[in-house]
Amino acid sequence: MLVEIKRLLIENNGYKRDISLQRMYINSDSIVSISDYHGAENFLLREKSRLSNERFSLIKINEGGHTEEIIAYGSADQLYKDMAKNTTEKRILND
């Protein structure tokens, strides 16, 4: 099943970095693990981002021959609970 997450997106524009959240859909069957990621908070504090007080998680996704890592908005516990909900409706995380 596809679930929507908000991915932390960092664009380097020379001397300045643009930090935003990007919506994306991932296949929940491809998720290998979800863990809290404190490195994002430290980075966002240094960058003086409005997102520095938020919680983020590292989602590892199996893509056949390799694993992709995505930094997602929300704690690991929150994301797991949202994905584990047993519902037939469209599921959107962090909305």
DSSP assignment of 33-93, as one string? EEEE--HHHHHHHHTT-TTTTS-EEEEEEE-SSSEEEEEEES-HHHHHHHHH---SS--BT
Q: What is the mean pLDDT of the chain?
A: 85
18-52 pLDDT, tens per residue?
889 999 998 888 899 999 998 888 888 888 888 88
pTM for the structure as a whole: 0.80
If pLDDT is split at 50, 70 and 90, which confidence band does 80 have?
Answer: confident
Higher pLDDT, 88 or 35: 35
- Quick one: pLDDT at residue 14? 80
- Residues sharing a CB contact under 8 Å with residue 4, sequence separation 6 or more, in sequence order: 23, 24, 25, 91, 92, 93, 95
